[in-house]
Every structure is written in C-alpha cells, then in structure tokens.
Amino acid sequence: MSLPSSAVLLADSDRPTGRHYAILLLSWSVWFFGFFSLLQLTFMTGPVETALRPNESQLAWLLGIGIGMTGVGGFLFGWLSDRVGRRWSMALSLLTYVAGNAACAAAPTLGLFAAARALAGLGIGGSWGAGQALVGETFPPAMRGRFGAIAQTGAPVGLGLAAVMGSFVAPEIGWRATFALSTVPILVLALVPFVPESDLWMARRRNPALPRELVGPFVKCFLLTALNMSNYWLAVVWLPGYLQKERGLTESRSGWATLTFVAGSLAGYLGFGFLSDRIGRRPAFTLCSALMATGLAMFTLYWHHIEGMPKLILAFLFLAGLGTGTWSGYGPMYSELFPTAVRGTVMAIIMNVTRGTQFLAPLLIAAVAPRYGMGGGIALAAGFAVLMGAWVWTLPETRGKRIE
C-alpha cells in the first residue's frame, strides 16, 4: 500500500489535533507504567530479601533479570510493531508486563519470583519503541522533539511512582500488595480503540529489512545508547542502597532524595525536547551529558566536600536528574534516521538490547562495592556521560527532518 503524493498525513498537520493527543496519551501511559514496573523492585529489595532470602549474588541477579529480559522484549515487540502495527504492539507489551507484576505478587519462592520478573521485563521491552515510533511518525516535524520528550517523561514519572510506592506505600501494605496494585495499568487498554494507527506505517509497511547503507548509523546509534544506558543504570539501580547503606539516610529520606533526582529528570526531559527543537539534537545532548557527569561526580566522588550541606546534596541530585534529559532525544532522532518499514524494530532493538545488557550493572557494582563502595561503582557513570556527550557528534543532525 502507498499513498498518493497529494495525501495529507497526520505529520502534515500545522499543529497537533485531538488524534495526536490520543496517540501521545497511549504512548506515554504504556511507557510510564512499564518503567514503573521495571524499577519498583529497586525500592522494595529489603522486604523481598526478608521474605525470599536471596544471598547477595542472587539479589544482584534478581535486580538484573528484569532489565536483561527487556532486550528480548525489544526484539519481539519491535518486530510486532512493524508487522501488526504500533498500537497493538504496545497493547500486547502492556498485557505481558501486567501479567508479570501479578505473578510477582503471588510468587511463593525465589525461583518463581525471578521468573515473574523475567516475564515483566519481556513486556517492558516492548513499551518504548512502538510508542516513540508512533509519535515520531504522526506529529509535525517542527514539534517532534518536544512531543517526543513529553512521551519520554513517562520514565521519570514512573521512577517517581516506584519511589513513592516502595518507600512509603509498601511499608504500610506490604510488598506483595504493592505488586498487586501494579496490575492497575490493564485499564490503559481501554484507550486503544480511540487511538489512530500510524498512517505513515500503513502506507510504507513491507517486509522489514535494514538497508545496507543504514548499518553504519545503526551501529553508531547502538553505541550511543549503550553508553547512556551504562551511565543511567549504574546510577539508578543502586542509588537508594547507596544513600541508605553508605550515606546513612533513612528509607524515608532516601525516598525524598530520589524524588529530587526525579524532579530534575522531569525538568530535564521536557527542557531537552524544546531545546533540541531550537538548537538541534546534538548540542542539546552534549549539554545534558555534561550536567549528568557533574551531578554524579559531586554526590559520589566529592561527597565529603558537601556532606554537611544537605541543600547542596539535593542540588547536585537535581542536576544529575536534569542530565537524564538526553533520553528525550532518542525517539525523535532515531525516528528521523531510520525508514518507516523498519523503524519500530530498529528503535526497539537499539533501546532494549542496550538496556538488556545492563543486567550486568548490579553485578558490576556488587563487585566494585567491597573495595570502592557503591559510590565508586555509581561514579563510573560520570565517565560514560562524558563519552556519550562526545560520541553523539558522529551522527548527523536531524532536527525538523520530514519523515518519509
């Protein structure tokens, strides 16, 4: 199927319409609940340890298995999004991670709990690529960065919800009931009939195959995302434990500190979107990378210089959060780099396979911690931030490009 040259696509609109906002709401919701599902265990390791009694190595694997399975989910649901459509790929991924959350709530043994986390990770792997492809293919090019950023804010808001549920709700109702509450996202499926499919995908779909000339950009994008994943997950997975075990913060104070990081992330995601539409994807990316590196270094390597100044500690947590705005760049930039027929597959593979490799992050920090502390492991993330800020310049600038 192809469209005549005179056909008006959703992306040809002068400004977003109600149909665009329905797309945005579905894409944001599936990603928000997916990211929340991925991170909620991070804030409930204490009660899960007490109930299921994993050793330190088993706990590291337990934290990593959900992240690792997102890589498998990226292959599966990315392929589905290019075959059956963006909407149904998102719907199926949501069903999968909700089923995983329900299984976590009921799991009687450590092995079954690990299997449930693997199932949730599989579904979470499909919650980003199809949604960002749908937003990228349907919103006006001049506004693609900012609306891609709004869709991406599901991540910091999901992290915030995970912090709230794990730090304040789980101690009151228990970790199993908290996992049971994370099945509520099933209600999002009611939105699907009201969301239009990508008209560009329907016009351009065919047997997906990556053109040879795009292998180079694919490799560069994969490496850029891998650097950012290493930066982000080395910091986030062990941030609550670092603040509590090494810096002596109570569970409640650690929760509030994490929420400060989340507030910075939310501001960074939104700010990046508008900035990248004005000055370009690459300059905005490098700026955020520098903010992330600075913030991470200050509350790890230079902690002893600021430990007596709580407001300054929170300021650097907020600054590191601002630096995570780089994540708003991937959806728009990769939508602009890759063709419609393979966009969903390529975006999902890049994002989720690189995230899947981060199952090693908890193991790396567990290995580094006995000698350098958790802060030493997290500080490695600052180095990755510097590298990714430089590497993004190997890619072409794509701001405002019309997608074909």
Q: What is the phi/psi pair of residue 6, to 5°?
A: -85, -5
1 CB-contact burial (10 Å; exposed 0-12 / middle 13-18 / buried 19+):
exposed
* Paired tokens of 266: 């939310």
- Residue 399 CA to residue 274 CA, distance in Å, equals 11
Structural domain includes residue 11:
no
We report the CATH number of the domain holding residue 74 as 1.20.1250.20
> In this model, does residue 1 exceed pLDDT 80?
no
Residue with tokens 């794509």: 398
pLDDT digits (tens, 9 = 90+) for 252-304: 677 777 788 889 999 999 999 999 999 999 999 999 999 999 988 887 777 77
Number of domains the chain is built from: 1
CA atoms within 13 A on the CB side of 315: 7
pLDDT digits (tens, 9 = 90+) for 113-133: 999 999 999 999 999 989 999
* Paired tokens of 289: 């990378």
Structural domain includes residue 7:
no
Whether the Cβ atoms of residue 236 and residue 381 lie closer than 8 Å to each other: no
Give the three-class secondary structure for 55.
coil
Average of pLDDT values for 212-223?
A: 92
How many secondary structure helices (H) and strands (E) does the chain include?
A: 20, 0
pLDDT digits (tens, 9 = 90+) for 169-205: 999 999 999 999 999 999 999 999 999 999 999 887 7
Average of pLDDT values for 1-22?
A: 79
Structural domain includes residue 147:
yes
Structural domain includes residue 302:
yes
Whether the Cβ atoms of residue 265 and residue 324 lie closer than 8 Å to each other: yes
- Per-residue pLDDT band for 5 (boundaries 50, 70, 90) equals very low
Count of other CB atoms within 10 angstroms of residue 351: 27
pLDDT digits (tens, 9 = 90+) for 40-80: 998 898 899 999 999 878 887 888 898 889 889 988 998 89
Its pTM surpasses 0.85:
no
Structural domain includes residue 404:
no
Q: Among candidates 153, 147, 120, 121, which has minimal Cα distance to 134?
A: 147
Residue with tokens 């934290």: 63
Could you give the angle at the alpha carbon of 216 between the alpha carbons of 214 and 222, nearest 5°? 100
> In this model, does residue 19 exceed pLDDT 60?
yes
Structural domain includes residue 263:
yes
Cα-trace Rg, the chain? 20
Average pLDDT, the chain: 87
Whether the Cβ atoms of residue 314 and residue 209 lie closer than 8 Å to each other: no
- Residue 393 CA to residue 282 CA, distance in Å, equals 6
Structural domain includes residue 3:
no
Return the axis-axis angle of helices 129-138 and 56-83, rounded to nearest 10°. 40
Structural domain boundaries, residue 364: 16-394
- The pLDDT of residue 376: 60
Whether the Cβ atoms of residue 31 and residue 131 lie closer than 8 Å to each other: yes
- The pLDDT of residue 4: 46
Is the pLDDT higher at 204 or at 36? 36
> In this model, does residue 233 exceed pLDDT 90?
no
- Residue 80 CA to residue 64 CA, distance in Å, equals 25
Lowest-confidence segment of 136-140, 165-169, 374-378 by average pLDDT: 374-378
> In this model, does residue 2 exceed pLDDT 80?
no
CA distances from 179 to 2, 197, 318, 344 (A): 45, 31, 28, 30
Return the axis-axis angle of helices 340-356 and 56-83, rounded to nearest 10°. 180
- Residue 352 CA to residue 75 CA, distance in Å, equals 8
CA distances from 178 to 101, 164, 244, 311 (A): 10, 11, 21, 31
CA distances from 317 to 164, 165, 230, 320, 322 (A): 17, 20, 18, 5, 9
> In this model, does residue 358 exceed pLDDT 50?
yes
> In this model, does residue 165 exceed pLDDT 90?
yes
Of the chain, the percentage scoring pLDDT greater than 90 comes to 58
> In this model, does residue 373 exceed pLDDT 70?
no
Whether the Cβ atoms of residue 246 and residue 374 lie closer than 8 Å to each other: yes
Structural domain includes residue 2:
no
pLDDT digits (tens, 9 = 90+) for 73-100: 988 998 899 889 999 999 999 999 999 9
Give the three-class secondary structure for 345.
helix
